[in-house]
Chains A and B, each alone.
Chain A
């Protein structure tokens, strides 16, 4: 535990902020800690957490994926079409279809990145545009409302108390978090992905199969995008092709807030959860405190700006007049 505290200082800092926020809001608003409010916080943010842990793996591997929200839309739409064509299916088929479509999209990204040595932000911005354009063109922007019942039925998987039912997406979130944690912390593949993101050349020399690792990382992001898309339908009760656009940047901000490093080698599942929840709780708290909903985004933006400025701010360097820390190389 002591070791965990030391290697995950960012997460711990976030946890403290979150705890302080929770205590404050618990005192300031009687509703905040109610079962209903906490359950809806989890229900409404479960999909973001699923995407966040998916994106995390790519960030750890030193890449970035802007296309996962569009990927989720495509997987969602294709899954809906596939399920309808087989006469409805069930959760098993839904997971298989969404997973396969998601992984396929991730593998396209990986193939372009690893195969042609194109930097990941360029590739995923290109696939973002290509996939989104094709999806909207092929579907003419039409939504699908006539979905199998099992997909849209609210299923309570657990309860936090009266009116505090946790729905299926939360179960999906827990499963996604557990699986991602298992992958990155408990398997040698995960450790090799960390190593590759941390020092690609060192990993290559140590015999890490770097191309395979990139396929696994982007494939995992795709898988989580697909599953997140599947769960999002359960929440929204419909498949709208352009509903998820723009979520990629919110999720990215949350993941980086949670301690993942742009550039690779660092990040944790707990951090993803905390990052998403910090944004969600700030918004929820503002709502409960009666702040105008129009001010939410502005205050969230300020929160993130403050957080990144403080976490990067080196007071010591300022006091000694900007002396450089030696033996420390910044990757810009």
Chain B
């Protein structure tokens, strides 16, 4: 594969210039001769898969990790031999981690001015705290209630607080780790507006993400990492998500569209005018046996909310759901499971699996009755058989079935989730972002499994915010936005670019 020539047009003056950065953990080379530079006031994207080294690079710049000797580490034109976290912060580098690291019970003002509270013990000057917070928010051009507890703000508000906190400590270079992951479209738009303001006032912003289509507009350049190495620096102008994915993975996605026509296979799921106040409205969708229906939409589009209702975890205000023709109105997800519905949550860590518990227990949790013997007790033999079947069927790579499920990689964890739902012999599987947190190499395996399940006649509703994912792996694509299904596409008659435009625009 030929690499496109990196574009060396660097806006001057520079905020940071790092060259020949290598980092080793034990025998593992996390970063290998990587160079990275950002201009003052530039909006830059740092792209890479999980494990590509992007978080290591941020930590080197933030002074948390030390690069091996021989690296050039310049902050604002000044060479710093051995950066420390304190030093990097003083130089004006701030990192906004994905979890924001804020304090929900404390006020907005204290959260913004928190860095001023750390250090040698002294009295708290609440007036100064409010002043600091007000100034920082003014720089962002937003107004927030300074004395509201942080927990009363929506995620987007908290993100603004995190940015204001960075500005309060005079940051001139702000890293944002996966900033749009939990934002709705409007919130993302607002964030981008804020980023433009920052950029105009000379603050450089680096978006760190594996999904950058939303932020490419406001960015000038993209640095791509893969396996700890620099792939290149590219102009953001004209970059697409598909191109970026290719660069990040090093694989040319010669994926063929797998869509097929299931013809008049029996309808498994049918909703009519399903509405839940404030979440989604007039949702009409059908999924036939053996069909993979992709439901694409950005966060806040109402896709997960629809899934929750289908899975019996919330109730629609109006409209109806039919399962294989019979109307259903679940009062709990246990009824939905009994009726043959499985739901793979988008939040595998918190909701999909019980992380500290064993692989075996996580595999059989949905089918306890089936692994019980006549006395009603759980049969060790039946349990082992069920676990072996699940592990074997999906070729899950494990140590021992009794190991905690948290010891598995993302891809293997997702296979455990699929195994636990397949064990219930479902007729409908709802997959909510089935490859989130799964490495690209492992994704194809998951897609093959999904296709295999469909071929067994299971109806599959695949929710996703990645066009790539639904385009190549669905038979039909529904586009959801603003709580409504706004369009339907056939991958065989639509180009991926067309779909990307529709979804991300």
Contact = CB atoms under 8 A, between A and B. Distances in A.
Contact of A205 (B97, B117, B155): B97
A186 interface: yes
B149 interface: yes
A229 interface: no
Contacts of B315: 320-321, 323
Interface in B151-203: 151, 154-155
Contact of B101 (A185, A187, A191, A199): A199
B445 interface: no
Contact of A321 (B86, B97, B314): B314
B85 A195 contact: no
Given A188-B124, A192-B117, A206-B115, A324 B313 contact: yes
A324 B276 CA distance: 14
A226 B103 CA distance: 32
B493 interface: no
Contact of A199 (B103, B118, B119, B123): B103
A198 B85 CA distance: 22
A327 interface: yes
Interface string A183-227: 001111111101100110111011110000000000000000000
A188 B125 CA distance: 9
A199 B313 contact: no
A186 B101 contact: no
Contact of B107 (A7, A205, A208, A323): A7
A117 interface: no
Given A6-B148, A7-B147, A205-B97, A188 B103 contact: no
Contacts, number: 86
A228 interface: no
B105 interface: yes
Contacts of A266: 105
A321 B155 contact: no
B155 A327 contact: yes
Given A194-B106, A199-B102, A3 B147 contact: yes
- Give the size range of B's interface with the partner: 20 to 34
A324 B304 CA distance: 12
A265 interface: yes
Contacts of B100: 202
B123 A186 contact: yes
B104 interface: yes
A244 B122 CA distance: 36
Interface residues of A, number: 32
B331 interface: yes
A206 B99 CA distance: 13
B121 interface: yes
B114 interface: yes
A62 to B, nearest CB: 11
Contacts of B123: 186-188
A28 to B, nearest CB: 38
Given A187-B121, A195-B114, A206-B118, A201 B101 contact: yes
A314 to B, nearest CB: 15
A194 B103 CA distance: 9
Contacts of B86: 207
A318 to B, nearest CB: 13
Interface in A231-277: 261, 265-266
Interface in A309-332: 320-321, 323-324, 327-329
A207 B123 CA distance: 18
Interface in B60-104: 85-86, 97, 99-104
Nearest to B97: A205
A266 B103 CA distance: 11
Contacts of B110: 191
B105 A185 contact: no
Given A188-B118, A188-B119, A191-B124, A323 B103 contact: no
B124 A185 contact: yes
Contacts of B154: 327
18 contacts: A3-B107, A3-B147, A7-B107, A186-B124, A188-B119, A191-B114, A198-B105, A199-B102, A202-B99, A202-B103, A203-B103, A207-B86, A261-B105, A265-B103, A265-B104, A320-B315, A321-B331, A328-B151
Interface of A: 3, 6-7, 185-192, 194-195, 198-199, 201-203, 205-208, 261, 265-266, 320-321, 323-324, 327-329
